[in-house]
Structures are given as structure tokens and as C-alpha cells.
Structure 1
Amino acid sequence: MGILYTLLLVSAIYSAEGAYCKDGYSSHGEYCYALLPLKASWAEAQQYCKTLGGSLAVIEDADESNFVEGMLKREHSTISTSQIWIGGTDLLQEGLWIAPETLEPLTFFNWAPKEPDNLGGQHCLAVFNNADLKWDDNRCEVQNYALCKSEGVTNENIVG
């Protein structure tokens, strides 16, 4: 009973800010985000995120995009890649961007000007690591860091 009470107390403290996340993760709403500090292809990055209990971050709306931009700007000094992988690919059908785990069509985009351009067969979604952090389609084999997203622990996860 003591462990459950402690978990409920911790969850209540963090639920005002969002989900409770593991060390190294940032919380936003019910999700946790982590920038993995190793370079990988898009498929490898997705597998690394999956191993950690999540997926490449599928950004669903402007609020989440603003959070991710702020998080990446805070981490900017530690990022030595021109782009960061996020969840989305149009590999199955050009121009139809889908989430990696659910295969649901993406409905929110924050494209850089003149993107996506499918230049040389670009089918995987990345964020430019520059001042405005807009999105780009890139070749899936390019080695970038990965932004992972997973569900955090909330009151519903503990009690439900």
C-alpha cells in the first residue's frame, strides 16, 4: 500500500505539469520526449525509440510543435547533426505522410519553405536543426539523432 500511495503522490505532483517521465525525458501533456544522442538512420532511430517503449515523435498539433521546438532549442548545443528524425514517412505512397507505429495519416505539418520536395527520393520526416526548426523530408538512410515520444505515467495509468 505504501508504494501505491507514493506513486499516486508522485503522479499527482507531476500531473499538473504533465506526465511523470523517466530521467532524461521532458514532459508535455501525457507524453514524454527524449532526444537520443546517437546518430542513426530513420528506421534504426524508430527501432531505438521502440526499444525504449516509444516511437519517433509524431507531432500532432501546433502546441506540441511549440513544445518540441523549445525542447530542441534547449538541447541545441548538444546536437551535432543538421536534422533530427521525427515520426512520419511517405515511403508507402508519395505525399501521404503516416505515423510509424499506427500507420495513421499525419494531419499536422510544419514544413520549411519549398518542402517536402522528395529530392532524390526523400521519404522520412526530420526537423531542421537551425533557428526556425521547420520540417524537411530527407533520405531515410541519413544518420541523424532521434526524437522519441512515449506515454508517461499519469493518474489514469496508475489507478485505471
Structure 2
Amino acid sequence: MLDMNTLLGIVALASLSSHVISGQQCECPASMCPDGWVTFRGSCYYVSDNVSVDWTEATHHCTAHHAELITIQNADEDKFIRSLLERYYRTGGQHPGQEFWIGANDLMIEGVWEWYTDNSSLEYSGWYPGQPGSEGDEDCAVIASRSDVFNGWHDAPCAAKHHPICEISPRQTIDQIIG
């Protein structure tokens, strides 16, 4: 017998497959995002504040949710994510110094930042001034809260424990989501 979450997931995927032909890009309107996710310009986002994991575990966590660690493509998406984090985490001065994993790293070549999903270079970046730093072991990227705002991307040690931000993007196909 299926539990309720599995049944709801099957219903959501069946609904999604009726709107998208297999192999085509997935547009995720608010009605198509899983519960607890938010939508912006065709993508669904989930801030996993119930887990604190290293960067590699963050990628696996998102995969387990049929998503990827977020890849931020432009200033509008960056602003949306920062404002989302502000709404979630700045109430009453909560979580100063909080950091959230994004999908950028320079693991292959020091100083050459890429998105892990396709090894493409960052066409847009939201680095905080002076970032990424020159620390040798800071090879993974976070959106960080400094003082009272989420003010930009920082490089961080990949082994550090932070919360992942997962994304189901229009780049993903229905095959990838159910795959």
C-alpha cells in the first residue's frame, strides 16, 4: 500500500506529464511545485533548513528531492533567492552568519568557478566584494548572511555544514524528474 506522500507525488508527476511531453523542458508554475516549494520564473525552489550537510551531501539531498542544487543564472534570480532567504531567516534578527549551498564550485581548477550540473562557467555571479577569496580549501559557493542581510556569494570549504537550496528548473526534463 502506498503512503500519502508517495501517492501525492505520483499524482503530481502524472499531472506534470500531462502538461509536458517527455523529453521537453519542464515549466514549473506554482501549481506544479511540490508542497513547501516556491516558484519563480518557471523554476521551483526549496530551502532545506532541516538539514545541515557538506556540499557533496547537499547535491545528493537535492537529487533525492528530484532536483539539483541551485544554479543562479541572472541578477533577477539572485535577488529573488536572497529576498526569499531574507523572508525566511531575517525575522527578528534570526540566523546571522547563516550560509546556504549553491551549485557553483572551483573543484577542478582553482579560481575557475563552474556550475556542477553541466560544468559550465558562471555567466552571472553574485559574489560579495572581495569574494571569492584566495583561501585554497574554499572550493564551494554559498549565499551568506553577514550582519543583517544576505549580501552575496562567498566561497566556503566544501566540507563545511550548511543548508542546501534545491531547484527544479526549466532545463530539467520530465525524464530527469521521474528518472
> TM-score normalised to the size of structure 2?
0.72
- Partner amino acid, structure 2, of 1:136: H
3-state secondary structure, aligned to 1:112: coil
Given that residues 29 and 43 in structure 2 are in contact (C-alpha distance below 8 angstroms), is that contact kept between their aligned partners in structure 1? no
Aligned positions, number: 146
- How far the C-alpha of 1:20 sits from its partner, in A, is 2.3
- Partner amino acid, structure 2, of 1:106: L
Look up the match of 2:4.
Answer: none
Does residue 126 of structure 2 align to residue 119 of structure 1?
no
3-state secondary structure, aligned to 2:127: coil
- How far the C-alpha of 1:24 sits from its partner, in A, is 0.6
* Aligned with 2:46 (options 5, 28, 34): 34
- How far the C-alpha of 1:32 sits from its partner, in A, is 0.4
1:3-152 alignment, distance < 5 Å: 7=15, 20-37=32-49, 38-77=51-90, 80=95, 82-130=98-146, 131-151=149-169
Task: Give the stretch that moved more between structures: 82-91 or 126-135.
Answer: 126-135
- Partner amino acid, structure 1, of 2:38: S
* Sequence identity (%): 26
Unaligned runs of 5+ residues in structure 1 are: none
- Partner amino acid, structure 1, of 2:89: H
Q: Whole-Å Cα distance in 2 between the matches of residues 142 and 76 of structure 1?
A: 20
Distance 1:105 1:76, change over 3 A: same
Instruction: List structure 1 segments (4+ residues) > 6 angstroms apart after TM superposition.
Output: none
Given that residues 28 and 44 in structure 2 are in contact (C-alpha distance below 8 angstroms), is that contact kept between their aligned partners in structure 1? no
RMSD in angstroms over aligned alpha carbons? 2.8
Q: Whole-Å Cα distance in 1 between the matches of residues 61 and 150 of structure 2?
A: 26
Q: Whole-Å Cα distance in 1 between the matches of residues 145 and 88 of structure 2?
A: 10
Given that residues 19 and 29 in structure 1 are in contact (C-alpha distance below 8 angstroms), is that contact kept between their aligned partners in structure 2? no
Distance 1:17 1:133, change over 3 A: farther
3-state secondary structure, aligned to 2:110: coil
Given that residues 118 and 137 in structure 1 are in contact (C-alpha distance below 8 angstroms), is that contact kept between their aligned partners in structure 2? no
